[in-house]
Amino acid sequence: MRIAVVEDDDGVGEALVDALAQVGHAPVRMRRGADLLLGHRDIDLALLDLGLPDDDGMTILRRLRGVSQIPVVVLTARDDERSVVRALRAGADDYVVKPARLGELRARIEVAARRRTAATAPPEPEVIRSGDIVVELGARRVEVAGVEIAFAPKEFEILAYLVARRGEAVSRQELMDAIWGDAYVAISRSLDVHMTSLRAKLGRPEAIATIRGYGYRWGS
């Protein structure tokens, strides 16, 4: 991906450029928010610092969202909850506090890009068949071997999310973020309870595979 590194600190900026280039990305160094506003059409994702020399990064983010929906990962030293909430509400896809571990940062970049791609991808078919399981997304109906099964709203949303990404590994955090709306407030225990109930109602142990230490995959 072409990734804008919007950072006024040369040491941090160059380190990020080198790290991203080493894993195959094409980083573009930017030192001001105005550079991002002018050049956003030529990039795929932005790493945005909030402490910029020409304007506050939060203002830049709001202006960017008025003209573009490219993924934005905020990377900043501000670790207070108010800044996190403001950035996410302004349209950031993720929020990472410095100093960032490079492995985690790369993973968050990939998730943010995948989420935006999914949001702009062609719609999934309304009816998805997997073995003897039939999921009607629009009608929110599920049949197993011809028998309709009743699911609670969150159970169905988890099922629909996994089925739509059949064959893909979906992390627990991504699933919580998608179903509960914000990974910062999602409760891990809620996912466990809903997953246990969902599997029991399906009665197909092979349908949802657990990937130890990561998440799940629709495996039917």
Tokens describing residue 36: 């991002």
Tokens describing residue 95: 């929020």
Under DSSP, the state recorded for 101 is: P
The pTM (predicted TM-score) of the whole model is: 0.55
Q: Give the list of residues 6+ apart from residue 165 with CB closer than 8 angstroms, or none.
A: 218
Tokens describing residue 85: 């909430």
For residue 216, give the amino acid letter: Y
For the chain, 220 residues long, the average pLDDT of each consecutive 10-residue run is: 93 93 93 92 93 92 88 92 90 90 88 71 70 88 93 92 87 79 56 92 92 86
